Amino acid sequence: MASKNVIELTVDSFDSEVLNSEQPVLVDFWAAWCGPCRMIAPIIDQLADEYEGKLKVGKVNVDEQGQLAAQYGVMSIPTLIFFKNGEAVERLVGVRPKPELDRIIQKVL
């Protein structure tokens, strides 16, 4: 089940939710038809719940928000981009194990 702590990001909300966020933000670029995206989705939901209040977690559907995917050079999905103070500070492509994501989040926090 999807986490209530994951924000659906759009072109209209991206600046306010990500670039102007007080907290670091993990953005998951995904699509409904993408098998690896479905594999990592439960991990993303878990992270959103575990780091609630410390890390914001958002998802960008690349089919609906192609402009954002292009703006951030997303060529393969899933792509995870970590933002801090409005800057992209870390980028991962493909499914990654939760411990690796935890390590990166600790670094970004």
Low-confidence ranges of the chain (pLDDT < 50): none
| Catalytic member of 26, 37, 47, 62 | 37
Q: What is the pLDDT of residue 3?
A: 87
Question: Catalytic residue at 27?
Answer: no
β partners of residue 90: 82
β partners of residue 57: 6, 26
Determine what percent of the chain is predicted with pLDDT higher than 90: 97
Q: Which tokens sit at 42?
A: 């439960």
CATH superfamily of 6-108: Glutaredoxin (3.40.30.10)
Q: What is the torsional sign of CA 73, 78, 79, 85?
A: positive
72's CB contacts (< 8 A; 6+ apart) are 29, 79, 81, 88
Rounded Cα gap, residues 89 and 82, in angstroms: 6
Cβ atoms 57, 18 nearer than 8 A: no
Q: What is the pLDDT of residue 98?
A: 97
The order of strands in the sheet holding 6-8 is 6-8, 56-61, 25-30, 79-84, 87-93
Question: Catalytic residue at 34?
Answer: yes
| Catalytic member of 34, 43, 93, 104 | 34
User: pTM surpassing 0.75?
Assistant: yes
